[in-house]
Amino acid sequence: MRVGKSPLETSVLAYGCWRIAGAATPGALTADQWNAGKAAVLAAYEAGYTLFDHADIYAQGAAEIIFGRALREAPEMRDRVLIATKCGIRFSGDPTPEAPYRYDFSAEHILRSCEGSLKRLGVGTIDLYILHRPDFLCRPEEVAAAFEKLRGEGKARAFGVSNFTPSQVSLLQQACPFPLAVNQIECSLLHLDPLLDGTLDQCLQERITPQAWSPLGGGRLLAGKGASSDVERVRGVLEELARQRGVSPAALALAWLLRHPAGIMPIVGSTKPERIRECAKAAEIELSREEWYRLLEAAYGKRLP
């Protein structure tokens, strides 16, 4: 599929690298953590995922380091996959002890963060560079200038945002001389806000690809006993439809997102190779309107008005 209006082409599912380093940090990455992370990356690649999503803060950079090492061991991957990464979140204590956890879209931070990600990933270009969470002190023209600099230097090919409201997207887009390619949003059968708040409408209208993080509700759609009655209700319909189709509930839940006309790209975050392969089968499922609305009704917990 095409990513927004950019020239980037990728699989309909993305693989999220948030958990591939486990609880590691760059200076404490063990051989076991490296091997497990590499196995997850290769499982996703072999299952057909061609967009790998990162952020500079994932395991404080260790996730990018693991992926960079995997690329060095399997260099043929680089020409066959797209690398996305995010910037803009800064931890407390950076750079001084009294500094709070915050968001930073200053040009200085965007450019410095990109350089750090390029180094950890071991690549010369990031295919899709994304702002992580809205910075309330953002100056759109300053962000646009940083993006133009990175693109002009060949360090990033396309740009996007994450967790932006429609008005925040419009404000930044007005300052950017090229189209924003993605908006990463929380969206699943357990989080329906983007259907109602204008986010998916804007994506469809402007041809911005919505990338859904936590597309399985943080695993709650698949977990065992002890869930709330609302989650159990959705699970029940998922499991019934999955049995009828001979597919897994996870694949069906992802197919529900894929059915939306905005072209939602779910970001799969499991590190279990069998779950990674299972989720990839969502690309082969096309739900009927009746199936789609049965699941929506279960998610709402009542008949539509």
How far apart CA 171 and CA 248 sit, in angstroms, is 40
What distance in Å separates the CA atoms of residue 34 and residue 20, rounded to the nearest whole number? Answer: 8
The gap from C-alpha 159 to its chain's centroid, in whole angstroms, comes to 13
Answer whether 294's CB lies under 8 Å from 239's CB. no
What secondary structure does DSSP assign to 114-164, as a single string? HHHHHHHHT-S-EEEEEE-S--TT--HHHHHHHHHHHHHTTSEEEEEEES-
Residue 108's nearest CA partner among 68, 135, 82, 80 is 135
Would you call 65 helix, strand, or coil by DSSP?
Answer: helix
Cα–Cα dist 66/210, whole Å: 26
103 labelled catalytic: no
The answer to whether 280 touches 47, Cβ cutoff 8 Å, is yes
Among residues 15, 45, 49, 58, which one is catalytic? Answer: 58
Alpha carbon 263 to its chain's center: 14
Nearest one of 248, 245, 244 to 216, comparing CA atoms: 248
Amino acid at 135: D
Distance CA 59, CA 36 (A): 14
Residues labelled as active-site residues: 58
